Structure 1
């Protein structure tokens, strides 16, 4: 996701595939795609790929955007979430993104405020 501008805007095309690092600096996954709230225009979730090898066996989990911080030195995002937290997150179903109760429980699980007000 290399950026050469001082502009704070970035294309989602540049975010998809960006590595995510744990608090200890090790790569824990990569962003597959973003989920954007239609009402506010804010990014709500980064759906991240975890585990697997060369795309096989990779699991995708939505993580609240508020749990990620961009680190230019790493050219990636940093988070304090652990594999244990991801695996313990509320189980999602095919239409998780339409279920406010699931979203509320997920934000509570990760200890961040909801993106809607």
Structure 2
């Protein structure tokens, strides 16, 4: 993800494809896309591609945005979420992004305050 000047702004296009690492430095996945709340403008989730090989068999998991912290040295995001936690997250339905109950369970599961509060 390119950084230049003093701006804290970044294009969502630059976030897509950015690598995600655990605090231990192990690669967990990469950002596939972001989910943005239409009314507040808050980034709710980074949907992370996880597992698979060369794009085959990759699963996508929504991770609360505030669980990711950009590390300029790694040029990627660092999180305290483990691969096992990602795999154990609340099951998603086809309309997970419209299901506030699922969102509450997910934010509780990851131990962070919901973006809508």
Query: What's the TM-score bracket when you normalise by the shorter of the two chains?
Result: over 0.9
Aligned to 2:24: 24
Aligned to 1:71: 71
Aligned to 1:111: 111
Q: How many angstroms apart in 2 are the aligned matches of 1:71 and 1:81?
A: 15
Aligned to 2:55: 55
Q: How many angstroms apart in 2 are the aligned matches of 1:44 and 1:90?
A: 16
Instruction: After TM superposition, give the deviation of residue 30 of structure 1 in Å.
Output: 0.2
Q: How many angstroms apart in 2 are the aligned matches of 1:3 and 1:109?
A: 32
**Secondary structure in structure 2 of the residue aligned to 1:2:** coil
TM-score for the superposition, normalised by structure 1: 0.98
Q: How many angstroms apart in 1 are the aligned matches of 2:76 and 2:87?
A: 22
Aligned to 1:91: 91
What is the alpha-carbon root mean square deviation over aligned residues? 0.6
Q: Structure 2: which 5+ residue stretches go unaligned?
A: none
Q: How many angstroms apart in 1 are the aligned matches of 2:72 and 2:40?
A: 26
Instruction: After TM superposition, give the deviation of residue 37 of structure 1 in Å.
Output: 0.5
TM-score for the superposition, normalised by structure 2: 0.98
Instruction: After TM superposition, give the deviation of residue 100 of structure 1 in Å.
Output: 0.2
| Runs of 4+ that moved beyond 3 A | none
Q: How big is each residue's C-alpha offset from its partner over 1:41-80, in whole Å with a ceiling of 9 and x where there is no partner? A: 0100000000111100111000000100001111110001
Aligned to 2:80: 80
- Tell me the number of residue pairs that the alignment of Structure 1 and Structure 2 aligns: 117
Aligned to 1:2: 2
